[in-house]
Homo-oligomer: A and B are copies of this chain.
Amino acid sequence: MFLLVRNVLTAAEIDQIRQLARAIRFVDGRQSNPHNLAKKNLQADPSTPEAVRAGQIAGTAITRNDEIRNFAFPKRIATPLLSRYEPGMNYGPHADAPFLQLPNGPMRSDVSATLFIGDPASYEGGELVIHLGNERHAFKGEPGAMIVYPSTTLHEVAPVTSGERISMFTFMESSIPNQLNRELLYALNEVSALEGFNISWENRTRLQFVIANLHRMWAG
């Protein structure tokens, strides 16, 4: 249920966002989660024009990406926000809030995503670490890559020990809220897309019948 997508951003978009990140005003990340003692990072002030612009660039890139759309069935995507971790900063294990209060009503966060902006060679530590029971699965992506993961997990950003971690994060409300359902529908859609005209018309129709009914049944 993880999807690592490369090249969500083009090289030009990465450059643009990096320039905005240099100009932007960063504030204490706890401003948006005041009670979370585990959070020690910096976030762009979302009201600044640079944050808005960076959010637009990344939002457009995510929206146009077929892999993400096929995997996450996004209904709504929150505006991505820049964050910065300096040496010693981290975001301890936490669960994402189930609902974000957006201007046009609450948005359920089914899928979380980190979009890597900085070069992984430019900082040590800072991995996104997903807790899977007592196992840990860590990600550190190339610039422009995005890791998509279920909002249902505990996860953390490991302490940055040198350099600076620049990335963006966002949340999606999925039209298929349950993670396993989403994964099964994605798998059937893949089979249909890859084998559609290789299999008999009758079986293609059967597959479409199942896909249509599962989609209808599981939508939320």
Q: Which residues of A contact B (CB under 8 A)?
A: 1-4, 35, 37-38, 71, 92-99, 106, 108-110, 132-135, 137, 139, 148, 151-152, 154, 175, 177, 179-180, 183-184, 187-188, 190-191, 194-196, 198-203, 205-210, 212-217, 219
Interface of A is mostly: mixed
> Within the complex, which residue of B132, B137, B191, B209 is in contact with A199, where a contact is CB–CB below 8 Å?
B191
Asked if B133 contacts A213 (CB within 8 A), the reply is no
A154 with B191, Cβ < 8 A, contacts A108-B216, A134-B2, A137-B135 known: no
The oligomer's copy count stands at 6
A210 with B195, Cβ < 8 A, contacts A135-B2, A216-B110 known: no
> Within the complex, which residue of B1, B194, B198 is in contact with A198, where a contact is CB–CB below 8 Å?
B198
Asked if A195 contacts B187 (CB within 8 A), the reply is no
Asked if A194 contacts B188 (CB within 8 A), the reply is no
Of A198, A199, A216, most buried by chain B (CB within 10 Å of CB) is A216
List, in ascending order, chain B residues with CB within 8 A of A209's CB: 95, 154, 184, 187
26 A-B pairs (CB sep. < 8 Å): A1-B133, A3-B134, A3-B135, A4-B134, A35-B196, A37-B201, A93-B205, A94-B205, A94-B208, A95-B213, A98-B212, A98-B219, A106-B175, A135-B137, A152-B180, A152-B212, A177-B216, A187-B207, A187-B210, A188-B206, A188-B207, A188-B210, A191-B199, A194-B200, A195-B195, A195-B199
